[in-house]
Amino acid sequence: MTGLSENTLTTKVAYARDIKYFLEFAVNFYPYFTEKSIKDITMDDLEQISAEDINLYLFTMKDQGLGEKTRARKKSAISAMFNYMINAQRKLTYNPVSGSTKIRLPEKDFVIYLTREEQERLLNTIRIGTGLSKGQLAYHEHYKVRDLAIVFLFLDTGLRVSELNSINVKDLSLEDFTVVVQRKGRNKIQMIYYSDESAEYINDYLNERKARGDAFHGDDPLFVTLEGNRLSVREIQNMVKKYVAAALPDKMHSISPHKLRSSFAMEFYRASDKDILTLQKRMGHKSILTTNIYAKAADAEIKESRNWRNSN
């Protein structure tokens, strides 16, 4: 697995921007930063920031029209900065974000995902190329075995795109039907089980690579371009978008690799007789509250279908 995934780097850049946004606010609105620029801010300055100062920042963002989700993300970035200075650098003693006003995000009771029938339409498009343009069909034979293995693995295991992107050949066990991945946001390695059908698609792909003359080494990426380079997160996202546009054009703007993960979660929750604890482990969620989004969405759909006899 790679040390720093494309998604991890993107997250760090986003956090850096949010911290810069906050510091720009600080030098303009906090009285003890008067006549200072960002580069002049010291640890003593940061030590003066209070929970009320953080509240002023949060309320100002709200007045500017920023939504709860954006404000929550920016607040999280500031908190991460203070925690780093406290725990890693030992240069601060207090995180003012911890005492600031909570941002309550609205709970979702719906999830965008693909039904089993829609999943089959998507997989069939990958298998036979239905709906692809002439230009896309010209290269389809070169990619379809690889792409089928990737998309089915998403639907079969609920992996995140960054987790799938980072898989190396050595992380895969064809005998035990497992793949080892590094979970998002923490240094946790987890063994993920995949189905017999996934194993068939993965074996077909590996055999195709061998037929091309690829010699596998442990640290080699599992999913690669024709040139042998690791498929990037963006390339995987674009690949999924291409097939969704061909198979399910009405969903081309709403289905991404992450929604394939949601599709796994919804199907697994139903098929496992609502085993939310196992789903939490399969999804790699730290909190069951995150997993509960899928449970609420599935239960809401069950309630809405109570008059199913009258639907014909």
- Is 253 part of the annotated catalytic residue set? no
Task: From the candidates 209, 242, 261, 282, give the one annotated as an active-site residue.
Answer: 261
Establish whether 183 is a catalytic residue.
Answer: no
184 among known catalytic residues: yes
Give catalytic status of residue 140 as yes or no.
Answer: no
Q: What type of residue is 210?
A: K
The answer to whether the beta carbons of residues 93 and 47 sit under 8 Å apart is: yes
Please tell me which residue in 73, 170, 258, 270 is annotated as part of the active site.
Answer: 258
Is there a catalytic annotation at residue 121?
A: no
Whether 69 sits among the annotated catalytic residues: the reply is no
- The span from the CA of 25 to the CA of 138, in Å, is 53
Sign of the dihedral defined by the CA atoms of residues 153, 155, 157, 158, in that order: positive
Residues 184, 241, 251, 270: which is the catalytic one?
Answer: 184
In our burial notation (b when 16+ CB lie closer than 10 A, e otherwise), range 26-62 reads bbeebeebeeeeeeeeeeebbeebeeebbebbbeebe
Half-sphere CA count of 191, side-chain side, radius 13 A = 7
In angstroms, the CA 243 to CA 135 distance is 13
Which residues, including other chains, have CB under 8 Å from residue 55's CB and lie 6 or more apart? 100, 101
The catalytically annotated residue of 144, 160, 183, 282 is 160
With a CB cutoff of 8 Å and minimum separation 6, the contacts of 238 are none
Provide the annotated active-site residues.
Answer: 160, 184, 258, 261, 285, 294
